[in-house]
Structure 1
Amino acid sequence: MSAVQLIECPRDAWQGYPIRVSTEVKVRYLTALLKVGFHTLDAGSFVSPKAVPQMQDTAEVLAQLPYQAYPETGILVIVANRRGLEQAVAHPAVRYVGYPLSLSETFQRQNTRQTRAEAEAFVDELVAYTQASGKVPVVYLSMGFGNPYGDPYDPEEVIEVGARLRAKGVPILSLADTVGVATPEAVYETLRAAIQAVPEVQWGVHLHAAPQEARAKIEAAWEAGCRRFDSALGGHGGCPFAGVPLVSNLPTEAVIAFLQEKKALPPLRTFALIEAQALLPQAFPA
């Protein structure tokens, strides 16, 4: 069994948050999360400030993080185009550079203003830039379980796209249930097939769910063989471009509880986790 990786996602929790969160508060909260010992901290994005104004201070935030003191945690940022990619690979705090590639043509255009063909071609640049700078590319397959737009969807396409991305040199793929449409059965079947068909890739999940659905989806991914889980403390956040307010990120607390039952929880600093949770009202003000 491969080691479990927990990816904490305050960036996804913040990006659509309606109240502006100050740079100071972001730095305080992210620093607290660094102390917990997560595998990866999804900390920001280099994207258009017009599209995602909450992320316009990402470079400033990263510059103030004591990331060197916590080398077990790699910082990840999201990019949507070459300009963002250049900013990401130039920043010393960044270890992972993520890019959202959608299985829905409509959502790809909404999210990155690219066609699917353009987006897949951009992955070549993602791989080239990250390899040249010592970073690691991560591709998120958004709308990975279907979409609300009526665009064609076939689970087999997850395998086809995954194989093409692996051939391009992408080592990590995260299958995203962007609008929370996946049933636990779909999570299991799609992931299981993908892991078996493209085993060279490390497959993860970035699931959105209503609170009552979270555990079933976590368990389905686990039983399919997934060992990489994106989540956010308190279950905050979700994609601002998806337009579905009733689903959110998987609560990190639910993922931790599940992994404790399985006796598979990676070592985390419990007191640091409690301290980070205490900052949630500041990080996500009412």
Structure 2
Amino acid sequence: MAERVKIVEVGPRDGLQNEKQPIDVATKVALIERLVAAGVTHIEAASFVSPKWVPQMAGSAQVMAAVPRAHQAKGVHYSALTPNLQGLEAALAAGCEEVAVFGAASESFSRKNINCSIAESLERFRSVTEAAQAAGVRVRGYVSCVLGCPYEGAVAPAQVLRVALQLREMGCHEISLGDTIGRGTPDATRRLLEACLRELPATMLAGHYHDTWGMAVANVAASLEMGLRTFDSSVAGLGGCPYAAGASGNVASEDVVYLLQNMGYETGIDLDALVDAGLFISQALGRAPQSRVSQALRSACVS
């Protein structure tokens, strides 16, 4: 039996949050419905942050109220980003079964992104993680800028590990390592993971690679070699970062699934249906999907 790799689909949240044009609740829900139909089981569906800072995440409670719930008996999980206790309370009221907090491995990025130091951000998250666990809700931790910062340049793997260990200590069951600016290479990814794996099990880590420099799929492959079996990806390559100018979207889910299938791994995801979901949201945004696999399949159909 093929070894299974978990895909955490972040398109509905991390992918859409940076879009300039308004995206209504019905479109977001329709995207999630298509992802579920394609076999995606872990979906970051919403973000309970202030619409003042991230306008595209307005309506997150309505999204969570409308997503298909019948599939949860089949192992579908919805999560949401919750930067503070107010956000957590809203997420719990909306029925989220997993929430996420987000830190950074770069002091400059932390101050630009959430207006506080790394230490201050982690202290803020402690009350969120404690309250979430008391409510029986799992917490996932994100670490941004693990392979470089738009303000500081290179980031030491030891600094990434320090933040990751603190997230584990406060109760995060999984820690997503994010190459926010997409400059990481396979060698740099291996060095990062070598450092992290000395003190954290591979089962606790996820790879979250942006594709700005075209290295994201290669970094996924390198991470597989190092033992990781969980990856964040975004359908149609949606995404970016409002605090990292020029950063492109996350690695496209279609490209990751194609890679995994051809390496002999099982994802439980129907690639054709996933491509259709990417086409749906891309058409809603008025542009072509960024997924290379989607582009290749469409070109093959035309020719």
Q: Which runs of 5+ in 2 are unaligned?
A: 288-303
SS class of match (1:226): coil
Give the distance between the partners of 2:276 and 2:209, measured in 1 at CA: 25
Corresponding residue pairs, total: 284
Conserved 8 A contact 2:182-2:215: no
Conserved 8 A contact 1:195-1:225: no
- 1:183 corresponding residue in structure 2: 185
Alpha-carbon distance, 1:151 to partner: 7.0
- 1:80 corresponding residue in structure 2: 83
Alpha-carbon distance, 1:15 to partner: 0.3
Q: Any idea what the Cα deviations from partners look like across 1:99-156, whole Å, max 9, x if unmatched?
A: 1101112221222223211111123222212112221101100011221212783211
- The residue correspondences of 1:191-270 to structure 2 (distance < 5 A) are 191-199=193-201, 202-210=204-212, 212-245=214-247, 247-270=248-271
Higher mean C-alpha deviation, range 38-47 or range 1-10: 1-10
Alpha-carbon distance, 1:166 to partner: 1.8
Give the distance between the partners of 2:115 and 2:212, measured in 1 at CA: 28
- 2:292 corresponding residue in structure 1: none
- The residue correspondences of 1:16-95 to structure 2 (distance < 5 A) are 16-71=18-73, 72-92=75-95, 94-95=96-97
Q: Which runs of 5+ in 1 are unaligned?
A: none
Conserved 8 A contact 1:34-1:70: no
- The TM-score, its normalising length taken from structure 2, stands at 0.87
Conserved 8 A contact 1:96-1:135: yes
Alpha-carbon distance, 1:201 to partner: 6.1
Conserved 8 A contact 1:214-1:254: no
Conserved 8 A contact 1:46-1:85: yes
Alpha-carbon distance, 1:9 to partner: 1.1
Conserved 8 A contact 1:15-1:52: yes
- 1:6 corresponding residue in structure 2: 7
Q: Cα gap change, 1:47/1:21 in structure 2, threshold over 3 Å: closer, same or farther?
A: same
Give the distance between the partners of 1:208 and 1:118, measured in 2 at CA: 26
Alpha-carbon distance, 1:46 to partner: 0.5
Higher mean C-alpha deviation, range 112-121 or range 265-274: 265-274
Q: Any idea what the Cα deviations from partners look like across 1:216-266, whole Å, max 9, x if unmatched?
A: 111111112111111111111121221124x32101111111111221122
Conserved 8 A contact 1:6-1:229: yes
- The TM-score, its normalising length taken from structure 1, stands at 0.91
SS class of match (2:50): coil
Matched to 1:129, the amino acid is A
Q: Any idea what the Cα deviations from partners look like across 1:188-212, whole Å, max 9, x if unmatched?
A: 1212321232128610011101373
Matched to 2:267, the amino acid is P
Alpha-carbon distance, 1:272 to partner: 3.9
- 1:167 corresponding residue in structure 2: 169
Give the distance between the partners of 2:202 and 2:227, measured in 1 at CA: 13
Alpha-carbon distance, 1:271 to partner: 5.7
Give the distance between the partners of 1:258 and 1:195, measured in 2 at CA: 23
- The residue correspondences of 1:107-122 to structure 2 (distance < 5 A) are 107-122=109-124
Q: Calculate the aligned-residue CA RMSD, in Å.
A: 2.1
What's the % identity of the aligned pairs?
Answer: 32
Alpha-carbon distance, 1:39 to partner: 3.2
SS class of match (2:198): helix
Give the distance between the partners of 2:208 and 2:153, measured in 1 at CA: 21
Matched to 1:81, the amino acid is N
